[in-house]
């Protein structure tokens, strides 16, 4: 009898351990998938902004030495094509190749103007980016700051994985709107979306504390929090307290365990 009890106990214990390990693996994969898609947004920010206002920029210094920027007109509306050719490393340390195509109705600092971004055989490092991002300036909020609503349907794929995401973002322009110097730009981002990662299931995620971006000063989000997953399973992603560094944190909901995340590799550090 003791032997039978021992066997049942051992089997049950191993099953529970396996379940915990599986849950941890699922939590990690879902978190990394959403993080990578979230950071893709940040990877396009410079291209979006330089195409959307009438300022004259030194594209090579802002983007990459190989970037060739062409415009269908000197005035709005126009189509801006950013061609990275066969690829080169940009100012944010990423290798980009292929084309980003941005159709802009007018200066995006003006209410009512719109912008659509699409991709032509475009890669970031070895990841192919497809889909579109639509933006509209919906006017100032109650604080007087201009807000751009962005909706996207983006797929990122490589030889090893495919990730996709639908989302709605509200990008509040806090400072720098009146100048052509991107070093004084600050944006606050809110919104939500649904991603499909390597496990093939939907992963809801909502920004619960605004993501702060200063693209002219730091290539990483400075702060902000994202709720990833369901009410009981998933993680809380925290980009920090305003310091420009490559570290974020993910805290699991069920076990309240916190991991660090390397924003360069976009992987959880065990």
DSSP assignment of the chain, as one string?
A: -HHHHHHHHHHHHHHHHHHHHHHHHHHHHHHHHHHHHHHHHHHTHHHHHHHSSS----HHHHT-TT-EEEES-SSSSEEEEEE-TT-EE-TTS-EEEEEEEEEESS-TTSTT-EEEEEEEEEEETTEEEEEEEEEEEEEE-TTS-EEEEEEEEEEEE-SS-EEEEEEEEEEEEEE-TTSS-GGG-EEEEEEEEEEE-TT-SEEEEEEEEEEEE-TTT-SS--EEEEEEESSSSEEEEEEEES--SSEEEEEETTT--EEEEETTTTEEE-
**pLDDT tens digits for range 198-254:** 889 999 999 999 999 998 899 899 999 999 998 888 899 999 999 999 999 999 998
In a domain, 185, yes or no: yes
pLDDT above 80 for 186: yes
pLDDT, tens digit, for every residue of 101-152?
Answer: 999 999 999 999 999 999 999 999 999 999 999 999 999 999 999 999 999 9
In this predicted structure, what is the pLDDT of residue 17? 34
Which of 9-13, 40-44, 192-196 has the weakest average pLDDT? Answer: 9-13
Q: In this structure, is residue 18 part of a structural domain?
A: no
Q: What is the extent of the structural domain holding 106?
A: 23-269
The model's pTM: 0.86
Work out the pLDDT band at 55, boundaries 50, 70, 90. confident
pLDDT digits (tens, 9 = 90+) for 26-46: 777 888 888 888 888 888 888
Query: Is position 202 within any domain?
Result: yes
Mean pLDDT, all residues of the chain: 87
Instruction: Look at residue 4 in the predicted model and tell me its pLDDT.
Output: 41
78 is a domain residue: yes
Identify whether 183 is part of a domain: yes
pLDDT reading at 3 higher than 50? no
The band of 269, judged by pLDDT with boundaries at 50, 70 and 90, is confident
Per-residue pLDDT at 198? 86
pLDDT of 8 reads 38
Return the sign of the alpha-carbon dihedral for residues 99, 100, 105, 106: negative
Closest-CA residue to 60 (of 46, 79, 42): 46
Number of domains in the chain: 1
pLDDT tens sequence across 232-247 = 888 999 999 999 999 9
> Does residue 100 carry a pLDDT above 90?
yes
Per the domain annotation, does 166 fall within a domain?
yes
180 band by pLDDT with thresholds 50, 70 and 90: confident
Residue 81 and residue 100 in contact, taking contact as beta carbons nearer than 8 Å:
yes
- Higher pLDDT, residue 19 or 47: 47
For residue range 164-177, what is the model confidence (pLDDT) as tens digits? 999 999 999 999 98
Specify whether the CB–CB gap between 131 and 119 falls below 8 A.
Answer: yes
Q: Does residue 99 lie in a domain region?
A: yes
Give the pLDDT band (50/70/90) at residue 24.
low
Q: Which of 146, 221, 228 has its CA nearest to residue 192?
A: 228
- pLDDT, position 183: 87
Sign of CA dihedral 27, 28, 31, 37: negative
Alpha-carbon gap, residue 234 to 31, rounded angstroms: 7
pLDDT bucket at 23, cuts 50 / 70 / 90: very low
Question: Per the domain annotation, does 145 fall within a domain?
Answer: yes
């Amino acid at each position: 009898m003791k032997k039978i009890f021992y066997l049942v106990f051992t089997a049950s214990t191993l099953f529970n351990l396996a379940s915990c390990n599986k849950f941890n693996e699922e939590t990690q994969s879902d978190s990394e998938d959403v993080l990578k898609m979230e950071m893709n947004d940040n990877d396009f920010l410079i291209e979006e902004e330089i195409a959307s206002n009438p300022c004259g920029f030194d594209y090579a210094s802002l983007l990459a030495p190989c970037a060739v920027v062409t415009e269908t007109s000197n005035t709005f509306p126009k189509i801006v094509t950013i061609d990275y050719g066969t690829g080169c490393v940009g100012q944010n340390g990423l290798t980009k190749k292929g084309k980003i195509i941005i159709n802009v109705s007018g200066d995006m600092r003006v209410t009512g103007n719109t912008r659509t971004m699409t991709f032509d055989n475009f890669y970031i490092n070895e990841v192919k980016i497809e889909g579109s991002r639509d933006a509209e300036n919906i006017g100032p909020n109650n604080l007087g700051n201009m807000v751009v609503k962005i909706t996207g349907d983006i797929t990122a794929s490589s030889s090893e994985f495919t990730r996709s995401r639908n989302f709605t973002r509200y990008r509040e322009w806090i400072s720098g709107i009146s100048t052509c110097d991107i070093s004084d730009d600050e944006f606050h981002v809110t919104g939500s979306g649904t991603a499909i990662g390597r496990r093939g299931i939907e992963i809801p995620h909502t920004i619960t504390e605004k993501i702060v971006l200063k693209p002219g000063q730091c290539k990483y989000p400075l702060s902000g929090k994202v709720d990833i997953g369901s009410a009981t399973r998933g993680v809380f992603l925290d980009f920090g307290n305003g310091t420009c560094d490559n570290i974020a944190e993910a805290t699991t909901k069920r076990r309240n365990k916190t991991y660090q995340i390397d924003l360069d590799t976009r992987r959880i550090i065990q």
